[in-house]
Structures are given as structure tokens and as C-alpha cells.
Amino acid sequence: MRFKGFTKRVLGTFVQSESFVAFDADHYKEAGVPFSSLAGMPVLEAFQLINKWNARKERQGRQEIVYYL
């Protein structure tokens, strides 16, 4: 199983907005896997990348954006 993208949710507004974001070449590079838009991001790397982004936001203080698969 592979993921084509992730969902980005903006918090702290009256209406929570969600948007689907496709993994691009920079995301694959950050995860350390070869770019493959047709096959998608491998499950383990996708979860590691999303967890890293969410942890980074938590360390910076108030979390305004949440990423999930």
C-alpha cells in the first residue's frame, strides 16, 4: 500500500479547513525515497514524514496545522 498524498488541516479558525496535498518531488527527497508519482509514497516513509512535520510544529509552540494520512 502506498499513499499519493496527505491531508492538511488548519486549526484555530472558526471553520476548520482541510485540503488534500499530493506528495511532490521535495517530499520524496525529504523522506529519502526515489520520486514515483504513479506508485505513491511507501507507507512507512509516509508515516515518518507526517509524524516529523507534526512533531516539529508542536515544538515550535502553538500548533496551527495538523497533517495526517
C-alpha span between 38 and 9 (Å, rounded): 25
Assess contact for 25 and 35: CB atoms under 8 A: yes
Locate the domains of the chain by residue range: 2-68
pLDDT tens-digit series, residues 2-21:
999 999 988 776 767 889 99
From first to last of its 69 residues, the chain has per-residue pLDDT tens of: 799 999 998 877 676 788 999 999 999 999 999 998 789 999 999 999 998 988 886 666 666 778 887
Coil, strand or helix at 19: strand
